[in-house]
Chain A
Amino acid sequence: MGWLDRPASDTQISHRSRLWLYGLGALILAFLAVPTLIVIPMSFSQSQYLEFPPREWSLRWYEAYFSSSTWMAATATSFKAGFCTALLATPLGTLAAYGLHASRLRFAGLAILVLLTPTIVPVILVGVALFYAYVQLRMVNSFLGIVLAHATLAVPIVMMIVGSALKSFDMDQERVARSLGATRTQAFLMVTAPQIGFAIVTSAVLSFLTSFDEVVVALFVSGGDNATLTRMMFLALRDQIDPTIAAISTIMIVMTSLLLAISQMFGKGD
């Protein structure tokens, strides 16, 4: 165990005198990761009480989920809403980030501040205010209503991710392309977009997840045939601990991990 006595940092402290730090770090990491992951084996438990480790394995909660038409309808709504949110928020946020970055007008700072308000305003206010507005407009429980709301929450995320990618992008490259005869649109599409492509894909994935995971606004403005999965889950949990939700949670955890892993792999190619 010679490594224990080797210096661990520039200040020559040894690994041995740092063991407490490694132990504490591992414990806190476990606190972060384990509770979410432990739901996965529990969801395969036969018992109503979600034992760990499960005494008897079964797929009954998955069967309950996949055979329920209400759960399936809510899942379809959430997927559609997430997809449409990404489709709406990604171009709007990218255009805004690019335009405000390139224009460098004084007004741009103000516009950025306005576009970031959805991250500052407590989400309950967005939910209640939109519910009030949608009641007047007869848009409560409408699909369009939930997509518009979620796209608003996703636009600042797209702006921040694409904006920070643009900061490290050399705008002179566009000027070169234009001096060689490209229009601004061509220069953007052929020179800029490929280089910030990773940021755009990442922001699309995160827009999808923002919508898919969103609870509070969906609680107020979605419902009926357009109830989202998270709304159904939240309402189901208010009454009792339904083990079906362990199965749904497992599927959501796997889906989120896969999506982020894929978007990371896409980035490695750059």
Chain B
Amino acid sequence: MTAAADLADDLHAAALRRDQWLERAGLAGLAAPALLLVAVTMIVPVGWLFGLSFLDDAGAPSLEHYRRMLAEPSYGRTFRTTFEISFVTTLICILLGYPLAYFLSQLPRRAANLCMIAVLLPFWTSLLVRTYAWLVLLQRSGLINSWGIKLGLWSEPLQLVHNVGGTLIGMVHIMLPFMVLPLYGTMRGIDGNLLRAAASLGSTPVHGFWTVFFPLSLPGLAAGSALVFVLCLGFYVTPAMLGGGKVTMVSNRIANDIELFFNWGAASALGVVLLAITLVVLVLAARLSRGTGLFGAGH
């Protein structure tokens, strides 16, 4: 082959590569409108808000809002409440969600799909409607109190709502599907032959469950727990409605700072810390579950 033909081939290959790149870039460009929307209504405003947290009341750069957050014990209490409620909610969701997901995974598919409606119905029902339902059920003259008294379980109406307990009930109810869905997916994917093999080697059903099934279900449990915990950290509506002003989570505090005190700096400093904690939990969860196919790694 002559040098001229080589050169022509090279040019041709380069042109093809450029064409391919241009086509790919054009395709990626289809995401531009969505990216623009998210940038304009999300990233820029949140960035702008976060900028305010580094300014003092006169508009000069300072860490005053963060210093105050460390100095005032009420902020520490807010964060402790948020962590405690998120942790307890996650724990109860594990205790209720694991047996439920296991139950569903052991049913024949048709029956499981039917039962799934009971999980998905609340999942897609408005959070406000569900919180309202609990408010009605748990109030002094509500169903739980009147039936409890009728059955002789207690004699005076109990204070079931407008406190931490009511908030926890509402949050567990809202978060449970987020625990059950990933768990159920993982459990359905476990190869039944492994359990059959364990049984044929002399393992009892209970022993087989703990040594084979349970360890294989852990990735789903980790994914569900991380999801529930992170979503709990940002809860606003349920503590506001079922907490009766006694339960202040970080989101409620942010809203109060804006609505009652017009204190943008304090609110945005809280926001920075809330987002930072959320990201740390997500990164930790992704780290811990690396290699288990969680968070998209296995797709």
Contact indicator A11/B198 (Cβ below 8 Å): yes
C-alpha gap A104/B171 in the complex (Å): 39
CB pair A122–B279 under 8 Å, yes or no, is no
The answer on a CB contact under 8 Å between A152 and B38 is yes
Contacts of B128 in A (CB 8 A): 213, 215, 230, 233-234
> Are B237 and A100 neighbours in the complex by a CB distance under 8 Å?
no
In this complex, what residue of A is CB-closest to B100? Answer: A28
A64: interface (CB < 8 Å): no
Query: How far apart sit A227 and B62, CA to CA, in the bound complex (Å)?
Result: 37
Q: Which of A42-60 contact B (CB under 8 A)?
A: 42, 49-50, 52
Q: Say whether B129 contacts A167, CB under 8 Å.
A: no
- Check A100–B28 contact: CB distance below 8 A: yes
- A249 cross-chain contacts in B, Cβ below 8 A: 126, 129, 132-133
Residues B129 and A25 in contact, CB atoms below 8 Å apart? no
Question: Which residues of chain B have C-beta atoms less than 8 A from A111's C-beta?
Answer: 28, 31, 35
B224 within 8 A of A: no
Q: B126: which of A50, A213, A237, A241 is its contact (CB, 8 Å)?
A: A213
List the count of A-B residue pairs having beta carbons below 8 Å apart: 251
Majority secondary structure of chain B interface residues (helix, strand, loop or mixed): helix
Chain A positions within 8 Å of B41 at CB level: 130, 148-149, 151-152
> In the complex, what residue of chain A is closest to B241 when comparing beta carbons?
A237
Whether A195 sits at the interface, judged by CB under 8 Å, is no
Within 8 Å of chain A (Cβ to Cβ): is B91?
no
Given contacts A10-B196, A132-B48, A216-B236, contact A21 B125 (CB under 8 A): no
Q: Once the chains are docked, how many angstroms separate the CA of A213 from the CA of B122?
A: 13
Size of the B side of the interface (Cβ < 8 Å), in residues, is 85
CB distance from B134 to the nearest CB of A (A): 6
In the assembled complex, the CB of B221 is this many whole angstroms from the nearest CB of chain A, namely: 16
A38 to B34, CA, bound (A): 40
CB contact under 8 A between A92 and B37, given known A38-B133, A234-B237: yes
- Across the two chains, which residue of chain B brings its CB closest to A147? B41
Tell me if A124 and B46 are in contact (CB < 8 A): no
CA distance A200 to B233 in the complex (A): 31
Cβ-defined contact, B141 with A49, below 8 A: yes
CB neighbours (8 Å) of B203 from chain A are 11
Q: Which of B9-17, B73-81, B150-158, B270-278 makes up part of the contact surface?
A: B270-278
Contact, CB under 8 Å: A24 / B37? no
In this assembly, does A133 line the interface, its C-beta being within 8 Å of a C-beta of chain B?
yes
Residues of A within 8 A of B48 (CB): 129, 132-133
Q: Which of B35, B119, B234, B241 contacts A32 (CB 8 A)?
A: B119
A256 to B255 alpha-carbon distance, docked (Å): 29
| Chain A residues with CB under 8 A of B196 | 10-11
Whether A125 touches B254, Cβ cut-off 8 Å, given contacts A35-B130, A42-B136, A95-B31, is yes
A122, B30: Cβ atoms closer than 8 Å: no
CB atoms of A39 and B132 under 8 A apart: yes
The answer to whether the Cβ of A13 comes within 8 Å of any Cβ in the partner chain is yes
Q: Confirm or deny: A186 has a beta carbon within 8 angstroms of a beta carbon on chain B.
A: no
Q: Mostly helix, strand, loop or mixed at chain A's interface?
A: helix
Q: Which residue of B lies closest to A24 (CB)?
A: B99
- The one of A31, A32, A98, A124 in contact with B254, judged by C-beta atoms closer than 8 angstroms, is A124
Q: Is the CB of A114 within 8 A of B195?
A: no
Query: Which chain B positions have C-beta within 8 A of A180?
Result: none
Question: Closest A-chain residue to B268, C-beta based?
Answer: A128
Q: How far is the CB of A114 from chain B (nearest CB, A)?
A: 6
Within 8 A of A (CB), among B229-267: 233-234, 236-237, 240-241, 251, 254-255, 258, 264, 267
B103 within 8 A of A: yes
Give CA–CA (A25, B137) in the complex, Å.
22
Take A28-B100, A252-B125 as given contacts and tell me if A132 and B45 are in contact as well, using a CB distance cutoff of 8 Å. yes
Q: Mark A214-229, 1 if CB is under 8 A from B, else 0.
A: 0110001000000000
Residue interface bits B71-111, CB-to-A below 8 A is 1, else 0: 00000000000000000000000001001101110100000
**A window 81-131: CB within 8 A of B:** 88, 92-93, 95-96, 98-100, 102-105, 107-108, 111, 114-115, 117-118, 120-126, 128-131
**Residue B149 is within 8 A (CB to CB) of chain A in the complex:** no
> Which chain B residue has the least Cβ–Cβ distance from A47?
B141
Question: How far, in angstroms, from A245 to B299 measured CA to CA in the complex?
Answer: 43
Interchain Cβ contacts under 8 Å between A and B, 16 examples: A21-B106, A28-B96, A31-B176, A105-B28, A117-B38, A118-B42, A122-B274, A125-B254, A126-B42, A126-B45, A132-B52, A148-B41, A233-B128, A249-B133, A252-B126, A256-B126
Given contacts A35-B133, A125-B274, 20 further A-B contacts (CB under 8 A): A11-B205, A11-B209, A30-B118, A31-B176, A33-B118, A38-B143, A95-B30, A114-B38, A117-B42, A124-B255, A125-B254, A128-B258, A152-B38, A155-B38, A230-B126, A230-B128, A241-B139, A249-B132, A252-B126, A260-B124
